[in-house]
Amino acid sequence: MEAVAGTSIPLSGSRIIAAIKASGVEYILSVPDIVTSSGLLAPIAHDKTLRLIRVCKEDECIGIASGLSYGNKRALILIQHTGFLDSINAIRGIAVEYKQPICMMVGLLHHNPGVSPRESPRYGVRIIEPILDDMGITHHLIGADADLAKIQPGIEAAYRDSQPVAFLIARSPT
Amino acid sequence: MMKRDECFRILSRHITDEAVVATYSSAVDWVEIAPRVLNYTSIGAMGLDSAHGLGLALARPDKRVVVLQGDGSLLMNLGSLVTIAAVAPKNLVHFVAQNDTYEANGGHPIPNPKVDFASMARAAGYAAVYDFADLDGFTQQVGHALKQVGPVFVTLRIEPSKPLHYDYPSLYDPAKRAAFKAAWLAEN
């Protein structure tokens, strides 16, 4: 079980980005997510060392990341949990059945970081971790700076073992 | 109106070291006509053919990537035209075989057979767009189309084909994915 962060605990967007870069990620594939909009996507859009690919629908990210992986290029998919749900079939086929290193950073829209996502009054948030468990996808809750140490090892493991990973962003990074 | 296998036989004469992303009916025809290690037929979900192609093209800008997609597949992710046009990979050639049916799913019609994919691709911002309904014209121009600075979009107006045998275990064979990756990385 991973700790659930309190509401006043900070989550540093710049440190998340540093962890992403340290993981060897070159491409960010994204549909905007209000949880990560200002703290992650906006600075990434201005970052000269990451290439941001803005897509129209989240499942495109799964195919693009897979194609990149065949050329040994690393990508991180930055989406909202609604987009994750919309992409389940692509994740099922490409990430799980084909065992591709699909790395997802998923903002939990309207989530109260003071409670566990599994106990959220929001149905859409409440079902995310059980779905990931059922699909056998490793996932990490990122709710405070103390959780940032999970990012680089998680991405490294995904590419080393050719398997998907999901980082669930429990609060808006600042 | 053309036949897909006829078009692919002509196309195959121009293919050398490109990655060819092919799915469903297009994959069945293509792997029979041009069996090769750089065929990429594991898409995982309908509608993502060109997304895989975009990723391949970005990772190897020194190589060309050819996508052979069906009309039903493109309709499942029309936004992919906008994404690809925005990224503008110079090395991506995107074919859509338009037979106005979901051929792999029983031959049912697409919602609107009057849809004009070439116009959509042009409006989305593809660098070059072609629309072929005549085999002679395709034969004459396909080599030229393949050499254009991408992203290139090509509609092939084709007839529904004879019933095909969809050997999905072979198309999705993990060993073929591994062989593709080894060959794709080895290409210099």
Predicted ipTM? Answer: 0.96
CB A172 within 8 A of CB A121: no
Residues A41-66: what's their mean pLDDT?
Answer: 97
Check CB contact under 8 Å for A98 and B180: no
Contact B43, B49 (CB under 8 A): yes
Chain B contact for A62 (CB, 8 A cutoff): yes
- Specify if A8 maps to a domain: no
Chain B interface residues (partner A, CB cutoff 8 A): 40, 42-45, 47-60, 77, 79-80, 82-83, 86-87, 172, 174, 177, 180-181, 184-185
pLDDT > 70? residue A145: yes
B10 to chain A nearest CA, in Å? Answer: 26
Which residues constitute the domain of residue A35?
Answer: 13-169
Is the residue at A1 inside a domain?
Answer: no
A72's tokens: 């040994």
Give the DSSP per-residue string, chain A.
--PPPPTT----HHHHHHHHHHTTEEEEEE---TTTIIIIIHHHHT-TTSEEEE-SSHHHHHHHHHHHHHTT-EEEEEEEHHHHHHTHHHIIIIIIIS----EEEEE-TT--TTS-GGG-S-HHHHTHHHHHHHHT-EEEEE-SGGGGGGHHHHHHHHHHHT--EEEEE-S---
- What is the model's pLDDT at position A21? 98
Residue A97: count of CB within 10 angstroms of its CB:
13
Is residue A44 one of the residues assigned to a domain? yes
pLDDT at B187: 67
CATH of the domain at A59: 3.40.50.970
Give pLDDT tens digits for A75-90.
Answer: 999 999 999 999 999 9
- CA A87, CA A107: separation in Å to the nearest integer? 14
Q: How distant is the alpha carbon of residue A38 from its chain centre? A: 15
Between B52, B172, B174, which is nearest A67 by CB? B52
Query: Chain B partners of A93 at a C-beta cutoff of 8 Å?
Result: 43-45
- Residue B158 gets which letter from DSSP? B
d(CA A125, nearest CA chain B) in Å: 24
Per-residue pLDDT band at A7 (split at 50, 70, 90): low
Q: Which of A54, A64, A97 sits opposite B54 (nearest CB)?
A: A64
Q: How many domains does chain A have?
A: 1
The CATH T-level fold of domain B4-186 is Rossmann fold (3.40.50)
Q: How many CB pairs under 8 A join A and B?
A: 109
| CB contact (8 A) between residue A71 and residue B86 | no
pLDDT-derived band of residue A113, with 50, 70 and 90 as boundaries? Answer: confident
Residue A3 has pLDDT above 90, yes or no: no
Asked whether the beta carbons of residue B44 and residue A93 sit closer than 8 angstroms, the reply is yes
Q: What percent of chain A is predicted at pLDDT more than 90?
A: 92
Mean pLDDT value of segment B49-68: 97
Q: What is the pTM of this model?
A: 0.95
